[in-house]
Amino acid sequence: VLSASLDGTVRAFDMARYRNFKTFTTPRPVQLSCISVDPSSDLIVAGGKDVFEIYLWSLTTGRLVDILAGHEGPVSSVAFSSNPVSSQLASVSWDKTLKIWDALDTKSTKEAVELVSEGICVCWRPDGEAVSVSTMSGQILTFDAKSTTQIGCISGKKDLRMGKGENEKISANKKSETAHFTSLCYSADGSTLLAGGNSKYICIYNVQESILLKKFEVTQNRSFDCMDEIINRRKMTEFGNMALVE
Q: What is the pLDDT of residues 67-95, one digit of tens each?
A: 988 899 999 999 999 888 888 899 999 99
Please state the pTM of the whole predicted model.
0.80
Phi and psi at residue 112, to the nearest 5°: -120, 130
Running DSSP on this structure, what letter comes out for residue 18?
T
Q: How many CB atoms sit inside 10 A of residue 120's CB?
A: 24
DSSP code string of 163-177: ---TT--S-HHHHHT
Cα angle value 183/186/190 (rounded, 5°): 160
What's the 3-state SS for 199-212?
CCEEEEEECCCCEE
Closest CA to 180 of 90, 230, 115: 115
**pLDDT band, residue 193 (cuts 50/70/90):** very high
Name residues whose C-beta falls within 8 Å of residue 30's C-beta, 6 or more positions apart in sequence: 8, 48, 49, 50, 51, 53, 55
* pLDDT number for residue 162: 62
Q: CA of 161: how far to CAs of 27, 118, 165, 184, 244, in Å?
A: 42, 20, 13, 17, 21
pLDDT tens digits for 129-180?
Answer: 999 999 998 899 999 988 889 999 998 888 877 655 555 555 556 666 678 8
In this prediction, residue 97 carries a pLDDT of 93
pLDDT at 206: 94
